[in-house]
Amino acid sequence: MLTCDCELPKTVREFLHLVHFFFGKRVFDVKHLSKHCSGLYGGLERVASTVQVERAVGSRHQSGSDSLLTWQVFYQIASRVNPQLIDRPEHMGALFDLELRPIA
């Protein structure tokens, strides 16, 4: 388990510390990035449609299918829609609707 057989984090700060510990500083949230791209808003399906990405397999709310679609949308944002966005430190580790960011 990723939690190392420990209790789940009790605070947002603890959670974000674990995100940073396990995944590093370059963690990106498609929903957060979408807020900073003109014309991108709404849920995963809407954002995917806007950046012209079609779901390759499965259906909505299936973890594997949603994960692949999320990756494809991220790739489009990072390579075509707004490439400089992922190089800005304020977007690294920022998770949508969480007020804190990982500790450096």
Residue 89 located in a structural domain? no
Residue 74 located in a structural domain? yes
Name the range with the highest mean pLDDT among 10-19, 65-74, 81-90: 65-74
| pLDDT of the residue at 81 | 85
Q: DSSP state, 11?
A: S
Closest listed residue to residue 94, CA positions, set 20, 9, 21, 32: 32
Distances (CA, A) of 22 to 3, 25, 71: 10, 9, 19
Q: Report if pTM > 0.85.
A: no
Domain total of the chain: 1
Residue 90 located in a structural domain? no
Residue 51 located in a structural domain? yes
| pLDDT of the residue at 67 | 96
48 or 100, which is more confident: 48
Q: Over 80: is that where the pLDDT of 102 sits?
A: no
Residue 20 located in a structural domain? no
Name the residue range of residue 56's domain: 28-83
Residue 4 located in a structural domain? no
Residue 39 located in a structural domain? yes
Do 102 and 93 meet the contact criterion of CB atoms below 8 Å apart? Answer: yes
